[in-house]
Amino acid sequence: MTSSIRSNPLPFALCPLPFPWRALAIIGLLVAATACGDGSAEPPKPTAAAGKKVDAATAGSIAGMVKFEGTAPANAPIRISKDCPQVAGAAPVNEAVLVGKDGALRNVFVYVKSGLDAAYTFDTPTAPVELVQSGCIYAPRVMGVRVGQPIDVVNSDPTLHNVHALPMVNQEFNKSQPVQNSHMTHVFTAPEVMVRFMCNVHSWMSSYVGVMEHPYFAVSDEAGHFEIKNLPPGTYTLEAWHEKFGRKTAQVTVGDKQAQTAAFTFTADSKSESK
């Protein structure tokens, strides 16, 4: 008896199967061919090279003074609204210009503007910097933060504040903070000098934040002093920024383990000079 079944040397995909099954078989062969290719694996994607780290054994520093020369403008008192907590003692004054003994100028943001090798990388701090609203005044008036580092905005007043940041590079935001002792966190994603913070409820409230890719910045204190530590050897351009008097620059070369100095002097006409 002869069998009615013959062996078929043709590939499975060409067997006389019903149409739906034949179509699925052809698709399967195409997928398998695509996956196999020429038998070579896809080359691995290159990974970013680790950046250089500052060698603490050779790092130096820059310290200096910021002064105001001439007659400092008077600090006008602020007319605090009735919803703000009463502050004991003298009425608060506008802190835009704070000049101390021997012309020491406070709240000047000093930072390395250029000269830092781009190959250096720095860990981003995870601890937030704090910006407090107290007595309807922002504190500190001027501060620095790293790109990617959180800012913790605190409302310590029993009244409504509206936190309004006015950057030119980063994303603007405008958020209400009505509850006392509440916290609001924000992270800037790009370097920018400077970002102004204001309050839409209390027009006199201002603060300024320098957003930096690196840790080389400082704010002058009540004695006009600043210090930038752990700088790798190199030649740097420092910039000093003041909210009323504009910007000044100085070039400083730091050698191995060298402690260098820099000085900045502002006058009432400095802003027009810096343009």
CATH number at residue 135: 2.60.40.420
pLDDT of residue 256: 97
**Pick the residue with more confidence: 135 or 51?**
135
Q: Which two tokens stand for residue 229?
A: 């530590």
8 Å CB contact between 151 and 185: yes
Phi/psi for 122 (5° steps) reads -135, 135
47 within domain boundaries = no
**Closest C-alpha among 174, 169, 168 to residue 153:** 174
pLDDT of residue 145: 98
How far, in Å, CA of 180 to CA of 158, rounded?
A: 5
Give the CB-side neighbour count of residue 208, counting CA atoms within 13 A: 17
Which residue reads 């943001």 in tokens?
109
Buried b (16+ CB within 10 A) or exposed e, 98-116: bbbeebbbbbbbbbbbebb
Buried b (16+ CB within 10 A) or exposed e, 50-82: eeeebeeeebbbbebbbbbeeeeeeeeebebee
Q: Which domain holds residue 163?
A: 60-84+94-274
Could you give the number of structural domains in the chain? 1
Asked whether the predicted pLDDT for residue 26 surpasses 90, the reply is no
Question: What strands lie across the sheet with 217-219, from one edge to the other?
Answer: 217-219, 109-114, 234-242, 246-254
pLDDT of residue 90: 66
**Each residue's pLDDT tens digit, 129-173:** 999 999 999 999 999 999 999 999 999 999 999 999 999 999 999
How far, in Å, CA of 252 to CA of 255, rounded?
A: 10
For β-strands 150-155 and 129-134, DSSP reports them as: parallel
**Each residue's pLDDT tens digit, 62-72:** 999 999 999 98
8 Å CB contact between 266 and 69: yes
Least confident of 32-46, 66-80, 109-123: 32-46
Mean pLDDT to the nearest integer, 5-9:
44
Asked whether the predicted pLDDT for residue 73 surpasses 80, the reply is yes
Q: Which two tokens stand for residue 49?
A: 């090279």
Spell out the residues 6+ positions from residue 180 whose beta carbon is closer than 8 angstroms to its own. Answer: 155, 156, 157, 158, 159
114 within domain boundaries = yes
Q: pLDDT band for position 199 (50/70/90)?
A: very high
How far, in Å, CA of 270 to CA of 275, rounded?
A: 9
**Closest C-alpha among 135, 123, 130, 37 to residue 89:** 135
pLDDT of residue 85: 84
Asked whether the predicted pLDDT for residue 37 surpasses 60, the reply is no
217 within domain boundaries = yes
**Each residue's pLDDT tens digit, 261-275:** 999 999 998 876 655
24 three-state secondary structure: helix
* pTM of the full structure: 0.80
Mean pLDDT to the nearest integer, 117-134:
96
8 within domain boundaries = no
pLDDT of residue 92: 85
**Closest C-alpha among 225, 170, 157 to residue 197:** 170
**Closest C-alpha among 56, 116, 64, 112 to residue 257:** 56
Kindly report the length of the chain. 275
